[in-house]
Amino acid sequence: MSKILIVYYSRKGENYWNGGLKTIDKGNTERVAEFIQKTVGGELFEVETVKPYSESYMTCIEEAKQELRADARPKIKAFPENLEDYDIIFVGYPNWWGTMPMCMFTLLEKYDLSGKTIIPFCTNEGSGMGSSERDLKKICKNAKFKRGLSVHGAESADSEEKVSAWAKKSV
């Protein structure tokens, strides 16, 4: 039986939501990660930055744009202890500026993921996966990839059936 890890970055608080701003108690990507875990098992690992992004969503995305332009690798609070034990790694994130938040690059570049199966998922307000799957393939050389899942963030709380069907097919 495959051992599964679900790593994700998620934003709580003020978020972009159907063309406006809304404060949410649980991040959209976290909800999707929990649906995956409920369906296929595995361990959850939430990526947290040392320096938090602004509480203001509009300021946060400007910070994210600056990180992307600078090809920054923001420090994160912790790394999973050992990825050697996992066969399948779900990688989740919001789509910011067409790809993953740069903290996901910080995490993934630390490991040799050769031979692992990488399954991406993202939340967004209409931009889909962007270039994140291509970026993941550059970082996770010699890994196997399954097709990613894009979930409309404002619909994440109601996406369990869609997420579960995709997760079952992916493992």
Residues 6+ apart with CB under 8 A from 158: none
Interval 23-35 mean pLDDT: 97
Percent of the chain with pLDDT over 70: 99
Instruction: State the chain's mean pLDDT as an integer.
Output: 96
Task: Answer whether residue 56 shows pLDDT above 90.
Answer: yes
Q: How far is CA 163 from its chain centroid?
A: 14
3-state secondary structure of 92: strand
Q: Where are the domains of the chain?
A: 4-170
Positive or negative, the CA dihedral 92, 93, 99, 102 is negative
Output DSSP code: residue 98.
T
Q: For the segment 73-103, what is each residue's pLDDT rounded down to a tens digit?
A: 999 999 998 888 999 999 999 999 999 999 9
| Contact assessment for residue 147 and residue 169, using Cβ atoms and an 8 Å cutoff | no
Could you tell me which CATH number the domain at 4-170 has?
3.40.50.360
